[in-house]
Amino acid sequence: MSAPIVIIGAGQSGLQVAEALRAEGWEGDVIMLGEEPVAPYHRPPLSKAYLLGESSAEQLTMRTPEVLARKNITLRTGIRVERIDPAAKTLHFSHGSSLPYHRLAIATGARVRPLPGADLQGVFGLRTLDDCTRISEALNTAQDVVVIGGGFIGLEFAAVARKKEKTVTVLEAADRLMARAVSPIISALYVTLHTQHGVALKLGVKVTGFTSANGRVSGVTLADGGTVKADLVVVGIGVLPNQELAAAAGLACEGGIIVDACGRTSDPFIFASGDCAAMRLDDGSLRRLESVQNAVEQGKAAAAAIMGKEKPFIAAPWFWSDQYDVKLQMVGTSAGHDQAIVRGDQAGYKCSIFYYRQGVMIGMDSLNRPQDHMAGRKLLDQHLSPTPQQAADEGFALNSLLQQQAV
Ligand SMILES: Cc1cc2nc3c(=O)[nH]c(=O)nc-3n(C[C@H](O)[C@H](O)[C@H](O)COP(=O)(O)OP(=O)(O)OC[C@H]3O[C@@H](n4cnc5c(N)ncnc54)[C@H](O)[C@@H]3O)c2cc1C
């Protein structure tokens, strides 16, 4: 077997596939190809500690090329795959060269959803280290910051900008914050949190464009005729999966590269994982997640499947977000809940909300309560559910349900 296993994308998930292949016993060549000029790095700090200057570039790096080389993983950065030829099992690059593969893993991630007119100076998306560096420089001199989109990344950035004492306005089209991912209870708590920190929140507003002066952004225009003054704008209106390579190669795609729980695509020699992949669930629906857990677990599942092993990613999804001094940790889902139980102190941002559907816990959101979150993960993975009374009772140890089962 001479051809290598090739991974397109040297991000969180691509790295996981590479390392998991070694753990699963693959002894042949592994080549990871990344368009960005740097070794795999952690993206979450780009809108948190790193942007605040509280962590270093070294801390961002997940593995240096030297560490990868010791694992016999070849990393090629600054290289973009232009085309996959699945019949010839070959990749093609823009400069005309090509690379054969034995098996292929696609971990191309996602890109910031573009907003028309957002190519003005002073308007940024936040996805890459390069974006973060440019935003960080612009923040040094900016005063009036506008964030378009009240999702996780936009709000985390808003919190950083407030800590840097900028005037911050958040513009959100929906009538609540983080509406795609959290319950109305959490949205409302975050309206209070950001308002307490001095952010001007405008919900239910439609952005129509930008005003500029000397080629630089000077404001954001709204459908109601208003303009919000701005010398720095961050657009955080979601991402688009990088699925075009796969689609052009004939792989089934629908809002992401369609995979099963083991990362298998519609081509038996090609696998996909992370932000670019949409997983078919048991009920037939597709779920594309944008999270570290998903990138890691799907990457592991795909590596196992490449090795002919069945290790599906079935754990309950979890995610976190840091805004000011509040760590929000989510597990499972709040979508479709018919009962919400609060444990702890909502006003002090130290509480957990348990979500139930027909008496069974389907998810939990925790604010500054990491132990609840960890217990929630275990409970959901083991299909255990505290009663609503137990959930509300601070004296009830959630882990005791796990212990009872272990006995
Ligand atoms: C600012 C920010 C904050 C976040 N915060 C959190 C958080 O708090 N918690 C959490 O769970 N998740 C968070 N996330 C999400 C998390 O980082 C992503 O879900 C994760 O990085 C996805 O990993 P991935 O490998 O699928 O994609 P990526 O990490 O995006 O990696 C994909 C790589 O593929 C490369 N690529 C694409 N096309 C090609 C090509 N044709 N040829 C070669 N290379 C290519 C890209 O350049 C990129 O480097 C955050 C993301 C961002 C941007």
Domain spans of the chain, in order of start: 5-111+239-306, 114-235, 325-406
Distance 397 CA to ligand 1 centre (A): 36
To which residue do tokens 């500054």 refer? 368
On whether the 325-406 domain is CATH 3.30.390.30, my answer is yes
Q: Is the CB of 297 under 6 A from ligand 1?
A: no
pLDDT tier at 143, thresholds 50, 70, 90:
very high
| Rounded Cα distance, 23 and 28, in Å | 12
Indicate the class that CATH gives domain 5-111+239-306: alpha beta
Residues in CB range of 27: below 8 A, 6 or more apart: none
Q: What is the pLDDT of residue 360?
A: 97
CA of 26 to the centre of ligand 1 (A): 25
Q: Is 302 in the pocket of ligand 1 (CB under 6 A)?
A: no
Candidate from 127, 292, 329, 365 with most ligand 1 atoms within 8 A of CB, to mutate: 292
Verify whether ligand 1 is closer than 6 Å to residue 169 (CB atom): no
Is residue 13 within 6 Å of ligand 1 at its C-beta? Answer: yes
Top mutation candidate among 46, 47, 60, 108 for ligand 1, by most atoms within 8 Å of CB? 108
Cα(23) to centroid of ligand 1, in Å? 23
- What are 47-56's pLDDT values in tens digits? 999 999 999 9
The ligand 1 atom nearest the CA atom of 36:
47
**Could you tell me the pLDDT band of residue 1, with boundaries at 50, 70 and 90?**
low
8-state DSSP, 264: B
Protein residue closest via CA to atom 42 of ligand 1: 80
Measured CA to CA in angstroms, residue 407 lies from 361, 383, 391, 397, 400 at distances of 22, 16, 21, 16, 11
Average pLDDT, the chain: 96
Report how far ligand 1's centroid is from the alpha carbon of 394 (Å).
37
Q: What is the pLDDT of residues 224-262, one digit of tens each?
A: 999 999 999 999 999 999 999 999 999 999 999 999 999
Q: Which residue has the CA at smallest separation from atom 29 of ligand 1?
A: 11
Q: Which of 126, 146, 145 is nearest to 48 (CA)?
A: 126
Residue 14 CA, closest ligand 1 atom number: 25
pLDDT tens track for 42-101:
999 999 999 999 999 899 999 999 999 999 999 999 999 999 999 999 999 988 899 999
Closest to 34 in 3D by CA, of 93, 78, 84: 78
pLDDT value at 407 more than 70? no
11 Cα–ligand 1 center, Å: 6
Q: Reduce the secondary structure of 216-232 to three states and give it as a string.
A: EEEEEEECCCCEEECCE
- Ligand 1 neighbour 241 (Cβ under 6 A): no
Ligand 1 centroid – CA 322 distance (Å)? 18
* Cα→Cα distances 69→14, 31, 231, 336, Å: 15, 10, 44, 47
Question: One fold for both 5-111+239-306 and 114-235?
Answer: yes
CATH number, domain 114-235, options 3.40.50.720, 3.20.20.70, 3.50.50.60, 3.40.50.300: 3.50.50.60
The residue whose CB lies within 8 Å of the most ligand 1 atoms, and thus the one to mutate among 291, 321, 329, is: 291
Ligand 1 centroid to residue 298 C-alpha, Å: 13
Q: Is the pLDDT of residue 406 over 70?
A: no
Cα angle, residue 238 at apex, residues 232 and 242 outer, rounded to 5°: 115
Does residue 12's CB lie within 6 angstroms of at least one atom of ligand 1? yes
Q: Given pLDDT bands bounded at 50, 70 and 90, which one contains residue 117?
A: confident
Those residues whose C-beta lies under 8 Å from the C-beta of residue 253, and which sit 6 or more positions away, are 243, 246, 247, 278
In this prediction the pTM is: 0.96
Q: Would the pLDDT of 196 be above 90?
A: yes
